[in-house]
Amino acid sequence: MAVTRTIAPSHLSPLTPMKVIVLGAGIVGISTAWYLLEEGHEVTVVDRQPDAALETSFANGAQISVSFCEPWASKDAPLKVLKWLMRDDSPLLFRPRLDPHQWIWGLKFLTHCSDAAFARNVQQLVALGAYSHESLKQLVAQTGIAYDRLERGILHFFSTEKDYQSGAAAAELMRAHGVDRRVLDRDEVLKVEPALAAFGPHIHGGTFTPSDESGDARVFTQQLARLARERGVQFLYEHDVLGLDTAGGAISGVRVGCQRTGQRRTLKADQYVAAMGSFTAPLLRPLGVNLDIYPAKGYSATLRLKRPEAASVVSLLDDTRKIAISRLGDHIRIAGTAEMAGYDLSLDSATARVRCEALVKRYEELFPGVADTTEPNYWTGLRPSTPNNVPYIGRAARLPNLWLNAGHGTLGWTHGAGSGRALAELMSGKRPQLAFGFCGPELPQRPTQVALAT
């Protein structure tokens, strides 16, 4: 009889386990560690926090938004940014700084503000999103992780006729990429989410994607990390990443410092993965690896529901304020805005207070009396943004044993599982089954099916 065996490229056989160090324990880093473990590798995860998902993955918008992944860069973006420049509550706030990396990022952002670049970038994001969503579904079925998941879709509603027409045009573009984004009139919007009835007179219409969903990224990531630990992944929490050493044109070790003991040491592995979000770029610059990643400071408010029966269950996008609203059990998460102002994480500045309070104020306008607004749980995180919103996934060009998984911007939760799976496959000599522009040297060919006689 004939037996079909998969032969992987000889230069990196998945049958040869490797020792891999993953830097970063957010949704992207933990997903990468999990799938590397699935491929049979020995994995160590290093993070400065005491647990997984305590930075950008901690309190994001909670949406798995495959169908709402438009890049920020579009032909209309420059004018909008100029209009918002002096408003502390603007959806996208650019604070000019004496930082050459910010200006380089901004100039490259402008090069993507065309219809052709927008369509090209959308295609990349949709491909990665679909692959990642399927990966997440399989992972949830495999592990049974519960994380306040709601498979109710995402509803985007508009408060002006002009915005509604723009939203309908965007939906047509997404449908061209195979996305089921439906255009709804006001009555159809309220049928999808009746909790919007009080705000109904101000709604002109919306778009809806039933295949999208929502859930708590922190809860998911921390549970996946615990399962990975049980299966043998080593976690070095409360360890600062001090730098990477090189020898012979490759990474020779990563210098870390233990926060509790003050001990410094160098960890060694066969391969290294940089998945530290916004901090990936400054970590790699001394090595000559220059990534176009700049932090976009985002905010969220998590409120306890006083009247859960009157709260929304469909995850929402409010076009007027550019915010996401997601139900997490007996709480509601309101998240959004982006502030290009460096690595500042403060919540006590005048700008931060305005932006946080605007989230709560808007929720009260939409759903009066539904949530307890007296004790809002505010949070801010640095979204690792690229000029075209397409992340870096693949091998670093100059260093053959350094791999990148960073730059996911506002879509880290959406793209986390698929990014981790794709990178683990690449590192194991496979080619992921999606049309995505992975970075680095040439990709391995897809495994060859060879029939062997027995």
pLDDT score of 415 more than 80: yes
pLDDT score of 2 more than 80: no
What confidence score (pLDDT) does residue 335 get? 97
Q: Is residue 125 part of a domain?
A: yes
Q: Is residue 303 part of a domain?
A: no
Q: Is residue 336 part of a domain?
A: no
Element (H, E) at 352: helix 350-366
Mean of the pLDDT values across residues 216-244?
98
Cα separation, 57 vs 127, in Å, equals 22
Burial 244-269 (b: 16+ CB within 10 A, else e): bebeeeebebbebeeeeeeeeeebeb
What count of residues does the chain have?
454
| CB-based contacts of 103, cutoff 8 Å, min separation 6 | none
Q: Is residue 219 part of a domain?
A: yes
Tens of pLDDT, residue by residue over 304-359, are 999 999 999 999 999 988 999 999 999 999 999 888 889 999 999 888 999 899 99
Q: What φ, ψ does residue 394 adopt, rounded to 5°?
A: 145, -165
Q: Is residue 307 part of a domain?
A: no
Beta strands in 59-165 (DSSP E): 63-64, 92-94, 154-158
- Percent of the chain past pLDDT 90, that is, above it, reads 79
Q: Report the predicted TM-score, pTM, of the whole model to 2 decimal places.
A: 0.92
Tens of pLDDT, residue by residue over 437-453, are 999 865 554 433 333 33
Q: Is residue 157 part of a domain?
A: no
CATH number at residue 239: 3.50.50.60
Contact 140, 149 (CB under 8 A): yes
Cα separation, 407 vs 413, in Å, equals 12
Contact 381, 56 (CB under 8 A): yes
Q: Could you identify the residue written with the tokens 């350094």?
A: 402
Mean of the pLDDT values across residues 218-238?
98
Mean of the pLDDT values across residues 376-404?
96
Q: Is residue 330 part of a domain?
A: no
Q: Is residue 197 part of a domain?
A: no
Tens of pLDDT, residue by residue over 419-435, are 999 999 999 999 999 99
| CB-based contacts of 348, cutoff 8 Å, min separation 6 | none
What confidence score (pLDDT) does residue 98 get? 85
pLDDT score of 454 more than 60: no
What confidence score (pLDDT) does residue 70 get? 85
pLDDT score of 176 more than 90: no
Instruction: Kindly report the average pLDDT of the chain as a whole number.
Output: 91
Contact 257, 63 (CB under 8 A): no
The DSSP bridge partners found for residue 331 are: 304, 328
Contact 309, 327 (CB under 8 A): no
The tally of domains found in the chain comes to: 1
* pLDDT tier for residue 88 given thresholds of 50, 70 and 90: low
Domain limits for position 274:
2-149+214-295+387-450
Of 278, 297, 277, 296, whose CA–CA distance to 356 is shortest? Answer: 297
Bridging pattern class, strands 92-94 and 331-340? parallel
